[in-house]
Structure 1
Amino acid sequence: MLKVDGINVYYGNIQAIKGVSLEINEGEIVTLIGANGAGKSTLLKTISGLLKPKQGKIVYEGKSIGGKAAQTIVKQGISHVPEGRRVFANMTVEENLQLGAYLRKDKEGIKQDLDKVFELFPRLLERLKQQAGTLSGGEQQMLAMGRALMAKPRLLLLDEPSMGLAPLLVKTIFRIIEEINQTGTTILLVEQNANLALSIADRAYVVETGRIALSGDAEELTSSEQVKMAYLGGH
């Protein structure tokens, strides 16, 4: 579904991504794990069009999308839930969700997808008229995910969905990520909590200083000594 081939990405003169290649098959949950600053978020931003690769190719469903404008990439079926949630604080929950569908014209489909979002996140329905800035961190994460789903993505990029959330909420969010995947949305997940990410993923890539250090089946990586020592608390 998505093939990233040898991309290099720079912030000014600093190279953040060094010749990264990876692929995602339709229906999978693929996770990127690695230390802070390894380049995981940069990789997501490059796929979603917020950053442009200097070299290399990004091909989605057979079409080259590397360097295309972010809204073009959303139109093609990729939605990005950024790190730190980035909800529109002064707008209501409802307005945030409607903004997620701004490229769509199918009124009936939008209504159906709104209902689906409320099924996944009943809390958002309770908070519909509330300003997004007044929501708790967990509710804002639900809103950011709901808003991304309103674009009807076939591929969902999730950046650090558990960041700053209480453990119980993290469990809920991850259960919902699995539900979203089961309804047919492919997911690329960046997550600090490597144990949790690997527990729901099909495959994983370990990113170290802008390069892919290891990749494989999520179960294999969970039992790899190297991964255990570096990312899973040693045992």
Structure 2
Amino acid sequence: MASNVEVLWGARPTPRRGPKPALNLDLIARTGIRIADAEGLAAVSMQRVAEELGFTKMSLYRYVPGKAELVALMADLAMGQPTELRRGGWRDRLDAWARALLPLFLRHPWTLEATTGPRVPGPNELSWMESAIAALDGTGLHGSERMDAVVVLVGHVRNIAQQAAAVPGGDPEKHLGAVLVELMREHGDRYPAVSAALAATREDTQDQALDFGLARILDGLEALVADRSA
């Protein structure tokens, strides 16, 4: 992971007089992002990025040691800076934070894969974490509770994004609902609770998994904050 630290956190060369270099980390990462957005992360390689840029693969190695470091750089660049949370209390700010995070995963579904497992987070990813943890200032929650709260929120957002990515251009909740309706027509007697829940589902409460999950997570945090205050 040492090379990831260097690529993500190392000092960028300062501009000098004269012609700009033909290659730089930002251009290389943006080219990788464009490929991943169109064809998925598997399509990204040092060779492919070099070809897109009109350079040899060896030219890229002067800037990036390999694909793992390239993907780390791409993911952090794709995340960008977090939305500034100015209004409301901690609950409103965390709700806004989570809702701002979801579109990033939807625009770049490959980041779901690129941001799992042991890795070095980049400056932008840590800025998102900083924003959410700072929103919990004054709540009485201790450090590990704040960190865990952020992990739970991110997990919910990631799950929604993963479901959406599995049904490109469609609605995963509506798709699952339609499948379950068909199954219950044939096998509803074996699954009476599922069948009853589907029959009692109101049209205006469908496709609200993000809202429902966020509300329940924040309800739990609110109860914990109230307990701390007491």
What band does the TM-score fall into relative to the shorter chain? under 0.3
The answer to which structure has the higher helix fraction is 2
- Could you say which structure has the greater relative contact order, defined with CA pairs below 8 angstroms and 6 or more residues apart? 1
* Higher-Rg member (1/2): 2
TM-score, normalised with respect to structure 2: 0.26
